[in-house]
Amino acid sequence: MARRGISNLSLLVGSLLWATVIASLVAVSQNDNDSAKQSASRSGDAVPAINGSESAPIKPGEQRSSVRISFPAKPLPDFNLQECLGDKLGLTGLKGKRWVASFVFTRCTSTCPMITRAVMGLHNDKRVMENAADVKFVSFTVDPKFDTVEILKTYSEIWSPDRERWKFLTGSQQQIYELIVKGFGLYVKENLGDTRRPGFEVAHSNRVVLVNEDGIPVGTFLGTREEDMVKLRRILTGHDEFPPPGSTSGLSFSTSDGNPLQLQFEVQPANTDESELRKKTSLNEEPIGGSTVPAIDKNDTGNDSTSATAVSAAMHNATIDGKLPSWAKQLPPINACLNTLAAILLICGLIAIRNKKERMHRNFMVSAFLTSAVFLVCYLTYHYALGKYTGEHGKRFPGQGIAAVVYQLILWPHIVLAACVPVLAIRVFQHAFADRRAAHRKLAKVTFPIWMFVSVTGVLIYGMLYHWPEAAAVSR
């Protein structure tokens, strides 16, 4: 007996498409569980150790993991740099206050967004505000040739800082690099030649430095490592003792194993020939100060972290949100609601025709078509606003790994099939209004699952793109 209903091909295609949707739902659910666990660990002050026990407080002089505290008491050299709002800020203006220094640049597409987001987490933490209200946050650009006051101001606005508590500084490359290397004891070097790529113009340490009220660095923490940032938060909130300066018997920073921390930096004139620069930056050349080239931990200067890519996408999305007018930012949730309504109307239309209520079926299907038409208008309007106000084509999905693969598996079938829906739907309506029932029924069996898939995955794509945990962490 012949099968009644959809064909074998339609059944196979529909099954594959809906299997993709189900797999994505499972991935989203798993990601939410993982994010909940991470949030739980961030909500407390203790850091779980590998064996599950609570991390003990850090004691002065102790070196654990990548955290380094209680350096020899070596005050920072005085400096006077340009703040992004136009004022000057130097060591004198910070004396008497504890502060946290970070080192980033605006063109960075890798770890800098992670570092700045980590600082933002401390800056916005209510416990830090309550227990360390006088602590300042100072972000130094390591790319001062490009990061002018205007560019740095635009970059700072992404993070919505309290301008009294968080400063963004730029100046001459010579002054900044000498301060970073000779003062903070960190690594910085302008990439040149084959190592210079867009977003990777500067190689630098990913460390965040805690400075006491006398202008003496007392601890460094990897800004790309969550555990380090939690330990810094413990110090700022008073759960761990604020590290005192170490012994003055030595005036050089040390690594976790007690060996001298070797330093290197190069300040290159802007008009120097690039072939000469490549020669001068050879690893065989002795850097300033006579020290040898350090063996740098990939975590300390790495520019290829997977999670950093996620944060770069989140920062890109936050930039779009900052430039879009408020009316345009309301369109994506409206589009999601329209897709949801279209899916509901399609289901109601299917139920009505199954119960042989043709008039009701017609009304539901016409309503679904009009809803989808309104969605299309809102969708095109939103992308027009994107191009006009931001110069971008759209947001980027910040998820990584399996989640990113699932997102692409949903996105591309959605895009292809969404282009087919108007053509198929209009043809189905033509058959219906011409009373070509057999042709209408045959085409409707193909159109309905495609239309439903596009509507449901449209909502799913909106949820993944606009409410993924990584995006929420930056796009506040």
68-304, which class in CATH?
alpha beta
If you search the block for the tokens 């000469």, which residue do you land on? 276
Q: What is the CA radius of gyration of the chain?
A: 28
pLDDT of residue 316: 72
pTM of the predicted model, to two decimals? 0.51
What is the separation, in whole angstroms, between the first and last Cα of the chain? 59
d(CA 244, CA 228): 18
Pinpoint the residues of the chain covered by CATH 1.20.120. Answer: 9-37+316-474
In tens digits, what is the pLDDT along the chain, a chain of 476 residues? 444 445 555 555 556 556 655 655 555 555 445 544 443 433 333 333 323 333 444 454 444 457 787 667 789 999 999 999 989 999 999 999 999 999 999 998 888 988 999 999 999 999 999 999 899 999 999 999 999 999 999 999 988 899 999 999 999 999 999 999 999 989 999 998 887 888 889 999 999 999 999 999 999 999 988 889 999 999 999 999 999 987 554 333 434 333 444 444 444 443 434 344 334 333 333 332 333 333 344 455 554 444 455 556 766 777 777 678 889 999 999 999 999 999 999 999 999 999 999 999 999 999 999 999 999 999 999 999 998 888 888 888 888 788 889 999 999 999 999 999 999 999 999 999 999 999 999 999 999 999 999 999 999 999 998 888 754 444 44
Instruction: Tell me the CATH number for domain 9-37+316-474.
Output: 1.20.120
Residue with tokens 């340009």: 82
pLDDT at 252: 39
CA gap 426, 300 in Å, rounded: 58
| Pair 205, 281: CB distance under 8 Å | no
Q: What is the pLDDT of residue 33?
A: 52
Count CA atoms within 13 Å of residue 442 on its CB side.
5
* Pairwise CA distance, residues 52 & 299, whole Å: 23
- Start-end of CATH 3.40.30.10 domains in the chain: 68-304
**pLDDT value at residue 331:** 94
Tokens of 202: 């500067």
